C-alpha cells in the first residue's frame, strides 16, 4: 500500500499530502519525526500546507503519526482519583517519570496484543505531548514553547510485580494518534476533556485540569533529568477507571480537539504467566533478598 504523509484538516474533512512539498527524503519511515527534527519545521510546515493539494479524508487509512519516537516518557500516578483507586501511597512527586520502549508504539486501528492469559492487562487513556525541540532544564513558564503538539495515548499496562518499564513496554502497548494536533490549535493543554471507552462502557472521564503535574511541570521535571529531543512523547498519566482488557475489546480514547484514537485487543497468543521465560528458574529456591 502506498504510504503517504499529510495534514489532516478535520473540519474540512480533507487531507493535504505534504511529502513532496516538504522534500521528505525517499525511504523515510517516519516522515513526521523527520520533519520535527528539522530546526525550521514550523516555517516549512506553514508554507507546505498552503501549497498542498486537497483530497477527501479517509479516516480508515491512518497509521501512527510517529512510528518510533526517540523516547516515550510516562507519568505514574498523576491524577488523585487514580492514586486512590490503586491504593497508592505515593504519586508522581515521589515516583518521578519512567520510560516505555519506543518499539511499543502502534497507530489508529492497530491491535493490542495481550501477553498473558491469567494476568490483568489494563487500558490507561492519557493525553500525549510531542516535544518539538531539544529541551534541557527548561522552566515551566517556558515549557510549552518546546511542544510540537498533542495526541491521544494509551499506556497499556500489565498488573504484575515487574518494573513499570517492563509491564508497559510490550510490543503494541503504546497506541498513539489518531494524528498530532499542533500546539497552535490547543490553547490550554490543562483544560482538555479526556474520555476512554471500552466497547459501550465509558471507563474514564476527566479534565486534564486535574493532573497533579500539569504539562508545563512535567516538561520542567523531565527536562531536569534528561534531555528531551524532538519527537519524544510524554504520556501524562491516567485518571481513575483502569480495568482489564479482554480479547475482542474495542478501545477508544477521545480528547477534546485532538480526535479519537481507536484500537482493538487480541488475546489469541496470550500465555500463562507461569510459563514466561525465567519464571520457573528459581521456583524451587528459597526466596533471596530483593535487590
Q: Binding residues for Mn ion, per CB under 5 A?
A: 124, 155, 238
- Min CB(112)–Mn ion separation in Å: 14
Nearest residue to Mn ion by CB is 155
Give dist(CA 214, CA 79) in Å, integer.
10
Question: Quick one: 19 or 208, whose CB is closer to Mn ion?
Answer: 208
Q: Point out which residues pair with 205 in neighbouring strands.
A: 195
Q: Which is nearer to Mn ion, 80 or 134 (CB)?
A: 80
* Min CB(79)–Mn ion separation in Å: 10
37 near 230, Cβ under 8 Å? Answer: yes
Cβ-based neighbour number of residue 22 at 10 Å: 23
Shortest distance, CB of residue 73 to Mn ion, whole angstroms? 11
Residue closer to Mn ion by CB (options 154, 228) is 154
CB 125 within 8 A of CB 194: yes
Least distance (Å) between residue 168 CB and Mn ion:
7
Q: Which is nearer to Mn ion, 52 or 105 (CB)?
A: 105
Closer CB to Mn ion, residue 41 or residue 252? 252
- Closest separation in Å from C-beta 10 to Mn ion: 26
From CA 59, how far away is CA 260, in angstroms rounded? 11
Q: Least separation, in Å, of the C-beta of 47 and Mn ion?
A: 37
Task: Kindly provide the b/e burial profile for residues 148-168, where b requires at least 16 CB atoms within 10 angstroms of the residue's own CB.
Answer: bbbbbbbbbbbeeeeebeebb
Instruction: Output the smallest distance, CB 126 to Mn ion, in A.
Output: 6
Mind spelling out the 3-state secondary structure of 107-124?
Answer: CCCCEEECCECCCCEECC
| Cα–Cα nearest to 189, from 212, 213, 214, 206 | 214
Find the shortest distance in angstroms from Cβ 55 to Mn ion. Answer: 36
* CA proximity to 74, closest of 169, 194, 193, 197: 169
Which residue matches cell numbers 492487562? 121
Q: Smaller CB distance to Mn ion: residue 10 or 240?
A: 240
Instruction: State which residue, 10 or 217, has the beta carbon closest to Mn ion.
Output: 217
Nearest-10 Cα torsion for 219, 149, 184, 141: 0
- Rank residues 48 and 196 by Cβ distance to Mn ion and give the closer one: 196
Amino acid at each position: 500500500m502506498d504510504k503517504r504523509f499529510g495534514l489532516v484538516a478535520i473540519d474540512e474533512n480533507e487531507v493535504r499530502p505534504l511529502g513532496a512539498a516538504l522534500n521528505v527524503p525517499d525511504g523515510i519511515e517516519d516522515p513526521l519525526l523527520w520533519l520535527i527534527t528539522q530546526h525550521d519545521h514550523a516555517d516549512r510546515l506553514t508554507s507546505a500546507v498552503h501549497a498542498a493539494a486537497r483530497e477527501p479524508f479517509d479516516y480508515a487509512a491512518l497509521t501512527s503519526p510517529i512510528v518510533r519516537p526517540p523516547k516515550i516518557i510516562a507519568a505514574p500516578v498523576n491524577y488523585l482519583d487514580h492514586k486512590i483507586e490503586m491504593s497508592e501511597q505515593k504519586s508522581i512527586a515521589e515516583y518521578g517519570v519512567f520510560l516505555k520502549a519506543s518499539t511499543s508504539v502502534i497507530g489508529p486501528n492497530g491491535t493490542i496484543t495481550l501477553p498473558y492469559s491469567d494476568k490483568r492487562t489494563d487500558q490507561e487513556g492519557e493525553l500525549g505531548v510531542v516535544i518539538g525541540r531539544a529541551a534541557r532544564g527548561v522552566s515551566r513558564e517556558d515549557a510549552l514553547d518546546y511542544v510540537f503538539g498533542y495526541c491521544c495515548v494509551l499506556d497499556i499496562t500489565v498488573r504484575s510485580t515487574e518494573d513499570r518499564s517492563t509491564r508497559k513496554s510490550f510490543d503494541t502497548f503504546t497506541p498513539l494518534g489518531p494524528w498530532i494536533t499542533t500546539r497552535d490549535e490547543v490553547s490550554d493543554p490543562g483544560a482538555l476533556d479526556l474520555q476512554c471507552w471500552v466497547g459501550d462502557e465509558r471507563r474514564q472521564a476527566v479534565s486534564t485540569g486535574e493532573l497533579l503535574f500539569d504539562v508545563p511541570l512535567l516538561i520542567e521535571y523531565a527536562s531536569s533529568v534528561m534531555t528531551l529531543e524532538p519527537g519524544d512523547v510524554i504520556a501524562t498519566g491516567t485518571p481513575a477507571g483502569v480495568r482489564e482488557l479482554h480479547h475482542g475489546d474495542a478501545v477508544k480514547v477521545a480528547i477534546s480537539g485532538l480526535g479519537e484514537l481507536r484500537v482493538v485487543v487480541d488475546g489469541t497468543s496470550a500465555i500463562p504467566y507461569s510459563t514466561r521465560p525465567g519464571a520457573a528458574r528459581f521456583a524451587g529456591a528459597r526466596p533471596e533478598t530483593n535487590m
